[in-house]
Structure 1
Amino acid sequence: MNPGTDDRPVKLSCRNLWKIFGPDPRGILTALDGSLGDRTVLNHRLHQSGHLAAAIDVNFDIRLGEIFVIMGLSGSGKSTLVRCLSRLIEPTMGEILLDGEDLLTVSKARLIELRRRAMGMVFQNFGLLPHLTVRDNVAFPLRIQGMSETERLSRAKDMIDLVGLGGKETAFPHQLSGGQQQRVGIARSLAVGPELWFLDEPFSALDPLIRRQMQDEFLRLQRMLQKTIIFITHDIAEAFRLADRIAIMRDGEVIQLGRPAEIALKPANDYVADFTEEISLTRVISVADVMRPAGSETASLPAKPVSSRLMLEELVPQLAAGVSAFPVVDDGERLLGHVAAADIVDILERDRLRRRRA
């Protein structure tokens, strides 16, 4: 969790976004205008008329430098939604505002420019060109932009080094492992310096060990680059590990939106509770989530100060030593407050009860 997320400016806004598949999507939405808020009536009328709702009145703001994860099971609408956000498919109705500019009203030329210079995309199937080397795959979007050969090869080299593939510049995709191929895809998408980075289940084709390594790599890159990221996954553990905030989708609707700790502690319904029941609370709740404000006693606490970003599980071993509270500091070592051992024990007890019910 990033405690400063809410203070950052909005980069992308999604307003009343709908995507309907069928013979007359706009017509059916206009006809149903008075019934759009009644999901039972809406679904019945859509089914009767041969339409399917893939995104239903979606609303959210994504802030600058935020990792915004959209998750749900297959068929929930998450991949359709991210394709609407980038206009790879056309939404039926709504607004998508990038820095205040509505992407649904821009010209085709402007959209192409935004995709080339402001957006980066990484997909599950890597999408590498098999006849090009690693270097040329990474440099390819820069070639499309018209960058000179010297500049684009230099930029490609920087990106290849950034993702840890230095020395593989002349290799072809078939000579790389799955994890290495995905790193090439990431380097290629970063080469254009995107302001907005879309990742649609980028690690789901990888085996569990490589997937974990790629998540670590992704977080390392984000700490360095601070991109605004929309990340799609069906894996709740991956979502909770990576996200600043999570939007959980079901049947085209966002049914809960919040920080991982908020969703784990206060699931909106039984569906979300079932999703999160195997997630250890101490792994997704940070010190900042349970921190108490600084008081007169905080500065005199004997325990070593801990970062507000730390997850509670990292403090559990110290509880056995009898620590009653930990001073909490920000990234600049400024004292923010303290976290009480009793509050950590309370979270551990809640975890135990959840596992028993499960």
Structure 2
Amino acid sequence: MTELRSIKIACRNVWKAYGSRPAFYFDSRGYKIDPDALAERLRSEGHLPAVVDASFEVATGEIFVIMGLSGSGKSTLVRCLSRLVEPSAGEILLDGRDLLKVSGKELIELRRHEMGMVFQNFGLLPHLTVLENVAFPLKIQKKSPKEREGRAREMIALVGLDGREASFPHQLSGGQQQRVGIARSLAVGPALWFLDEPFSALDPLIRRQMQDEFIRLQKMLKKTIIFITHDIAEAFRVADRLAIMRAGKIVQIGRPSDIVLNPADDYVAQFTEDMPLLRVIKVGDLATPADGAELYDEADASASIEELIPRIAGGVKSFSVLPANGVRRMVAAADVLAVLKRDVCRRSL
């Protein structure tokens, strides 16, 4: 991240183990042993360590992606963060407050007012219209009918479903149903947004469109988002930072460019080997102080460097990077072409 932001949610040494008596292993003595040794001990005695000593922080306004193959523990971890699944040990701090210590009543209120959740199966109520589905969480909050309808219509417009307010879920395409799910989760104005494989049930074309929609919404709303996926291309496309999980353990955390350029181990390297560097590395990743250099064109810091190639082919030698934030930065065409050369060599091996 290029700027200092407050931490919205922090996960500290979180475990989730399934079995006959997992709590036995997390007393003050046993929990202090090496996490890998404890995970192995749990497995050897018939338990399943679904999440192993997970720690990370998510800044306000950041998209933090948790990814891994099926069975890696990513969905269990995100459910631990909202306590839909009770962790076996650790701390989960929301604005500095440990969610594992709040009462059931307090947790319900936090879910109703602070958290938005979108899941793979949409979860729409089939007997309710689009408008009624989106307004449903506001009804739970006991908002007035006028307030519910106004907010629901605003969210429906935001996701591009104007005119479908009276439609029922079965009258919508998969992509439209997912838009309704997104609108419903946004209706309460959550500060923290959980998305668990929200687009995996969609066909590739609709999935790409929904990723575009998601990126568009985030630029407008600037939510703090934890996004779960098993798709490396999707993860690299939407993430500010991502965590890669394997067998319940987080094996690497970083920006997409950090992970693809400096994988932590062979597993991560294999995971990312087919990702084109030109699409992963952003303009801002290559930016350096301008040092008075003559600048010929402008480029957005969040754009992939792939987008600069046609302009370089047209003769542009350097780019000023936006947003400037008071500091003049640049990217030289030669630096972009060096990444292109590296990508070609890497993918030809």
When the two structures are superposed, what TM-score results if normalisation uses the length of structure 1? Answer: 0.94
Is the counterpart of residue 310 in structure 1 residue 303 in structure 2? Answer: yes
Match of 2:15 among 18, 26, 35: 18
Match of 1:76, SS state, is: coil
Point out the more displaced range, 203-212 or 278-287: 278-287
Match of 1:222, SS state, is: helix
Match of 1:35 among 33, 36, 42: 33
Correspondence for 2:136: 140
Correspondence for 1:324: 317
CA contact (8 A) 2:318 2:330 kept: yes
CA contact (8 A) 1:329 1:335 kept: no
Structure 1: gaps (5+ residues): none
Note closer, same or farther for the CA distance 1:261–1:44 as it changes in structure 2 (3 Å cut): closer
Of all paired residues, the percent bearing the same amino acid is: 62
Is the counterpart of residue 354 in structure 1 residue 346 in structure 2? Answer: yes
Point out the more displaced range, 303-312 or 73-82: 303-312
Q: What's the offset of the Cα at 1:328?
A: 2.4
- Supply the AA of the counterpart residue of 1:28: Y
Match of 1:158, SS state, is: helix
Match of 2:60 among 58, 64, 82: 64
Equivalenced residues, count: 348
Match of 2:297, SS state, is: coil
Note closer, same or farther for the CA distance 1:196–1:354 as it changes in structure 2 (3 Å cut): same
Q: What's the offset of the Cα at 1:312?
A: 0.7
Q: What's the offset of the Cα at 1:322?
A: 4.0
Aligned Cα root-mean-square deviation (Å): 1.4
CA contact (8 A) 1:330 1:336 kept: no
Note closer, same or farther for the CA distance 1:34–1:3 as it changes in structure 2 (3 Å cut): closer
Correspondence for 2:265: 269
CA contact (8 A) 2:43 2:49 kept: no
CA distance in 1, matches of 2:216, 2:186: 14
Structure 2: gaps (5+ residues): none
CA distance in 2, matches of 1:191, 1:323: 45
Match of 2:51, SS state, is: strand
Correspondence for 2:166: 170
CA contact (8 A) 1:307 1:331 kept: no
Within a 5 Å distance, the mapping from 1:114-129 to structure 2 comes to 114-129=110-125
Within a 5 Å distance, the mapping from 1:1-358 to structure 2 comes to 3-4=2-3, 7-30=4-27, 32-33=30-31, 35-37=33-35, 39=36, 41-296=37-292, 298=293, 300-301=294-295, 303-330=296-323, 334=326, 336-357=328-349
CA distance in 2, matches of 1:306, 1:143: 45
When the two structures are superposed, what TM-score results if normalisation uses the length of structure 2? Answer: 0.96
Q: What's the offset of the Cα at 1:61?
A: 0.7
Deviations 1:90-114 (A, max 9, x none): 0000000000110000011100000
CA distance in 1, matches of 2:30, 2:44: 12
CA distance in 2, matches of 1:48, 1:69: 31
Point out the more displaced range, 119-128 or 286-295: 286-295
